[in-house]
Amino acid sequence: MLPYLTDEFANPSGAHTMARRSRAAIEEARDLVAAELGFGPHDIVFTSGGTESDNLAIAGVVAATGGGVVCPATEHHAVLHPVEGHGGHVVGVTSDGAVDLDALSDALSEEVALVSVMLVNNESGVIADLGAVRSVMDERAPNAVLHTDAVQGVNWVDVAAAVAPADLVSLSGHKFGGPKGVGVLAVRPGTPLSAQTLGGGQEAERRSGTHNTGGIVALAHALVELGASRDTELSRLRSLRDRLADGLIDAIPDCSETVPRQGRAAGLLQLVIGGLESEALLVLLEKGDVMASAASSCASGAMDPSHVLAAMGVDRVAAAGSLRLSLGWCTEPWEIDQALEVIPSAVRQLRTPAMMGRR
Amino acid sequence: MSKILVAMSGGVDSSVAAARLVEEGHEVAGVTLKLWGGAQDSGCCSVSDVDDARRVAQQLDIDHYVFNYGDAFTEFVVDPYVRAHSEGLTPNPCVECNRHIKFDALLERGLRLGYDAIATGHHARRVDTPAGVRLARGADPAKDQSYVLYMLSAAQLERLRFPVGSLTKDAVRDEATRLGLRTADKPDSQDVCFITSSDGRRRFLGERIDLHPGELIDEAGDIVGTVDAVELVTIGQRKGLDLGGNAARSYAVAVDTPRRRVTVGPASSLLAERVELVDHSWTVSPVVGAIAAQTSAHGSPCPATLTDRGELLWSEPQRRVAPGQMVVFYDGDVVVGGATAA
């Protein structure tokens, strides 16, 4: 991406030689992304990231059709809030975090224009069966299109196969080694979608705004590299994750995984640790060089109680002890050893009362 | 050198508190508590306040965390505040936040995390006396906050620091300016942090409890006027009572929420010789005998005697204390305890 942040600074929509070089780089990136996702080049809309892609999918379909929208309660807020904002229907999930297909079916009708189901949940790691969702839609909401937020999922599944049932797919560059501030909305031909950002008419009138050339080029190359290494990475990370999970559950009393490992992304681990507030745990983990997360961060940087665990029926007190550990391409075996040393000792420290005679 | 966790609200006092501890050579980290409200909230703990605290921590080169105590704040501060109003009481939510959040939940967590002490930007002093550590008034009489800290025990005070308690507010601002902190000119926080000035107390309570219009009666029992919301009336109040032309010398002297009646009378009817107290809290152990008692955050202390039943007898009759308000007991500048007016 570096040349496009330095010498090749031209606006790709321009008419001169330099501009054409930038434009060519974007079109090459478009081909690469399309091939990875199983879409055509003209189906790819570059955006500023996953949140914009999700918003464009939902608001764009609603604007084009006037229909209703439905999503499960475990969606990322970038889907949940626009769905709620458009008066949509939020349906429940099972205690294992899977979409409750009966509840989904009940919420569907011919008036529904869009169903949004994330490919892999960013907290629980649950992989959605989009084919099953599609079957319910075909029966109950034949006019609806299927959107999937694949921001997390692209790392963990054969993405082209997994999103084959979907009409709209959101990606964000920073989740797979690309830069922040660039994303993709893939749109199947014939999907009703009205632009939400109006201006110069870039991206075939679907998303105006000067292209982030460097970001787009980097996103495409990161996606290609991800696809090439995914299979070997998944088996490597699965065994590291299993060792981490087994070791922690063994060393920490009252500690369990939130969902079964089968049907969960290989490098993701979400635990609930009893008698503990994970917000405090994160402070100690950071001092031990373990960078973890609890639920999802809100704008202030505070940890909000997890809406995903709440939707799965985990009570608030238990959810306050949730811990998310994510592994990735840069995770090394020694880091698992370190986590297995740091986390149990931090939990022991926090479970020991400090101030006697508390109210 | 100690390991000290500073509660940083994003205001100037706690910014300078953190800075002073850093200058004294302690190992300092900052924490901002997320207690209430969303991004648009103009009250406390808005995102911009957290950003201010984070930026100050960065300038001081210390770690900064955000702790979400929203559930505990609702349970121990906001809900009891609303309930107290529905019962015609006059609650003090700052005291309950200090009691349950800052000096219980946060103190406990900070110690478990391995810190030796928690610091805040309160204008109060922690003083060493021959008998042990005590809480004393802040050096700036106009900003003294010892009243809202009366619940602190000597054991808690051992683990607390108030680095700006020995400074005047002007000196705090000068220090922030000298250090180039973005909070140097930030206005002081006002009133109840979870009630925004634009919405006000009436709207806040009205969304949570039913507010009832009431009758104003005089001390003979005759109806002399009306009031919009009996739940919002505080003893001693003069404004907002619709008395026709007789308002000038009338005060609310009693509030009967279930019967939706407020008794009004002259200032002399507000005078009381004693205060019934509940929920006493003592720095060390119960005190009996002569003390000075203060009945509001910035009120003047008045001489009184505490009985062995924990009742307060004024040396001279004083204006009645609204039920729910705190009465704090001082020996000179030193807090010895406090309680809630019944």
**In which residue ranges of chain A is pLDDT below 70?**
296-300, 356-359
Query: Is residue B254 situated within a structural domain?
Result: yes
Q: Is A289 on the interface with B (CB under 8 A)?
A: no
B45 is catalytic: no
Q: How many CA atoms lie within 13 A of B312 on its CB side?
A: 31
Q: How many CB atoms lie within 10 A of CB B17?
A: 28
Contacts of A350 in chain B (CB under 8 A): 112-113
In a domain, B153, yes or no: no
Q: How far is A281 from chain B (nearest CA, A)?
A: 8
Q: What is the pLDDT of residue B244?
A: 67
User: Is B193 one of the catalytic residues?
Assistant: yes
Which of B44, B45, B94, B193 is flagged as catalytic?
A: B193
The whole-angstrom separation of Cα B123 and Cα B136 is: 10
User: Is B239 domain-assigned?
Assistant: yes
Per-residue confidence (pLDDT) for residue B47, from 0 to 100:
78
The predicted complex's ipTM stands at 0.85
* Cα separation, A328 vs B12, whole angstroms: 41
How many domains does chain B contain in total? 3
The answer on B298 and B336 residing in a single domain is yes
Look at chain A and count its residues. 359
- Structural domain for B56, as ranges: 3-121+163-179
With CB atoms and an 8 Å threshold, state whether B114 touches A352. Answer: no
B250 within domain boundaries: yes
What is the pLDDT at residue B189?
78
Give the chain A residue nearest B41 (alpha carbons).
A300
Domain match, B69 and B55 both: yes
Question: What pLDDT score was predicted for residue A299?
Answer: 65
Are B112 and A299 in contact (CB < 8 Å)?
A: no
Name the closest residue on chain A to residue B107, using Cα atoms: A355
Query: d(Cα B311, Cα A300) in Å, to the nearest integer?
Result: 45
Are the beta carbons of B65 and B94 closer than 8 angstroms? no
Residue among A285, A300, A352 with most chain B CBs within 10 A, to mutate: A300
Based on the domain organization, do B22 and B103 belong to the same domain?
Answer: yes
CATH number at residue B285: 2.40.30.10
On whether both B234 and B332 belong to a single domain, the answer is no
CA distance to partner chain A, nearest, from residue B95 (Å)? 15
Q: What is the pLDDT of residue A305?
A: 82
Give chain B's contact residues with A (Cβ, < 8 Å).
Answer: 32, 34, 39, 45-47, 50, 54, 65-68, 70-71, 99-100, 104, 107-109, 111-114, 153, 155-156, 159
Residues from chain A contacting residue B113 (CB–CB below 8 Å): 280, 283-284, 349-350
Q: Say if the Cβ atoms of B112 and A280 lie within 8 Å.
A: yes
Backbone phi, then psi, for A119, in 5-degree steps? -65, -50
State whether B169 and B36 are in the same domain. Answer: yes
A348 lies within 8 A of chain B by CB = no
A253 and A91 in contact (C-beta within 8 Å)? no
- Interatomic CA distance for residues B4 and B13, integer angstroms: 16
The answer to whether residue B84 sits within a structural domain is: yes
Burial of B222 (0-12, 13-18, 19+ CB in 10 A): exposed
pLDDT digits (tens, 9 = 90+) for A263-297: 999 999 999 999 999 999 999 999 999 988 887 66
B248 shares its domain with B298: no
Contact yes or no for A300 and B156 at CB 8 A: no
CB contact under 8 A, A302 and B68: yes
Burial A130-152 (b: 16+ CB within 10 A, else e): beebbebbeebbeebbbbbbbbb
B221 and B325 part of one domain: no
Residues B259 and B291 in one domain: no
The CATH number that applies at residue B217 is 2.30.30
Domain identity same for B316 and B237: no
Same domain, B17 and B117: yes
CB A218 within 8 A of CB A182: yes
Q: Please tell me the predicted confidence (pLDDT) of residue B40.
A: 43
Question: Does residue B73 belong to any structural domain of this protein?
Answer: yes
Contact present, A170 and A54 (Cβ < 8 Å): yes
Task: Tokens for B2, please give them.
Answer: 């100690």
**Angle, in degrees to the nearest 10, between helices B169-179 and B12-23:** 70
Please check whether residue A271 is in contact with residue A248, taking contact to mean a CB–CB distance below 8 angstroms: yes
A 303-322 → B contacts, CB under 8 A: 303-305, 316
Same domain, B51 and B169: yes
**Residue after which a domain boundary falls, among B229, B247, B265:** B265
Q: Does residue B289 fall inside a structural domain? A: yes
- Domains detected in chain A: 2-226 (3.40.640.10), 231-349 (3.90.1150.10)
Chains A & B: contacts with CB separation below 8 Å:
62
Of B250, B265, B280, at which residue does a domain stop? B265
Q: Is the same domain home to B227 and B254? A: yes
Q: Residue B72 falls within a domain, yes or no? A: yes
pLDDT along chain B (342 residues), means of 10: 96 97 98 76 68 96 95 95 94 96 97 97 96 97 97 97 98 97 88 79 92 92 90 87 68 93 92 97 97 95 96 96 96 98 96
Q: Is A353 on the interface with B (CB under 8 A)?
A: yes
